Amino acid sequence: MPLERRRVDYSGRVQGVGFRFTSQRLAQSFKISGYVRNCDDGRVEVVAEGETAEIDSFLEAILDALGDKIHAARSESLTPGEPGLHGFEIRY
């Protein structure tokens, strides 16, 4: 199956509540690569690459775990494989 890469920007009360650590822990249950990071404007950015169903399930798990903190999410498709992602990490 072809790979997809998706970026999701979450806004709300998403910084200082364990969002990055929870996202990284959840990612371990899915066949995805990527990262999560805090943005200077208060958003949290998640970039995930893998099969579409895996990404969808991962993002649903984030909503299940952290949905009460999220007020909005904006999703964008990116070109997969550029640059390469390995594992799922927290970026600072």
Q: Where are the beta strands (DSSP E) in 1-92?
A: 4-12, 32-38, 44-50, 70-78, 88-91
Query: In angstroms, rounded to a whole number, what is the distance separating the alpha carbons of residues 57 and 59?
Result: 6
Position 53 scores a pLDDT of 97
Position 75 scores a pLDDT of 98
Asked whether residue 19 is domain-assigned, the answer is yes
CATH number at residue 70: 3.30.70.100
Annotated catalytic residues are 20, 38
Position 82 scores a pLDDT of 83
What pairs with residue 46 in β-bridges? 8, 36
Position 50 scores a pLDDT of 97
pLDDT, one tens digit per residue, over 24-83 is 999 999 999 999 999 999 999 999 999 999 999 999 999 999 999 999 999 999 999 888
Looking at the structure of the chain, the number of domains it has is 1
Asked whether residue 92 is domain-assigned, the answer is no
Asked whether residue 45 is domain-assigned, the answer is yes
